[in-house]
Amino acid sequence: MRLRNLKNTKTILEESCFLVKNPEDYKGNTDALFSKKQPLHIEIGMGKGDFIIQMAKKHPDINYIGIEKFDKVLARALIKIPSSLSNLKIYRYDAVNISSLFEHEVERIYLNFSDPWPKKRQEKRRLTSENFLKEYDFVFQKTKEIELKTDNVAFFLYSLETLSGHGYRLSKISLDYHKDLTIDTAVSEYEKKFLQKQVPICHVSAQK
């Protein structure tokens, strides 16, 4: 189902204090965006923002940046953010160029229900492909953590293989994590829909 545009999308993007207009300028100095220097976690492909907004509320001792490239989706996320939330910023950007945004600053990356790009010729677009994992090496600090959730089993198995092959230690692996595991995390808008339909959700935590 296609997402309908908000009539005032452009105005929302222009006026939001949470949307960073020139994110490349803060590469290597993302601390300047926040009121306090704290660990930095990012979500790539944040959608309408439910997950990262919840996380920022639950963990005021962590700074968060959500990354999304589609204007109509960004606008719907921005209007949800409470004005008092000081540990969250949003980037309008394509993650294929993520090394243009961060330089050894990020502690954790969240990949929630990423596009699985199922065709073999689309492999390089997958957010857990080897080329993206190499990009993340430049983005991460010494500590590297990726938390992944997906409803697509084929993409999940592919990700387990690529993460392991890139030197990550895998934990909390589940093909139905709401049934198998107790994890203190927020729920994205996609996850809510899948849970209502009783669709099993795969999960893995990866550390390097």
For the annotated catalytic residues, the residue numbers are: 115
Rounded Cα–Cα distance for residues 58 and 88 (Å):
12
Q: How many beta carbons lie within 10 A of that of residue 151, not counting itself? A: 17
**78, 57 in Cβ contact below 8 A?**
no
Nearest to 172 by CA among 187, 189, 160: 160
CA–CA distance, 139 with 137 (Å, rounded to integer): 6
What number of other Cβ atoms are within 10 A of residue 57's Cβ? 16
Q: Is 175 left (phi over 0), alpha (psi -120 to 50) or beta?
A: alpha
| Cβ partners under 8 Å of residue 57, min gap 6 | 82, 85
Amino acid identity, position 88: L
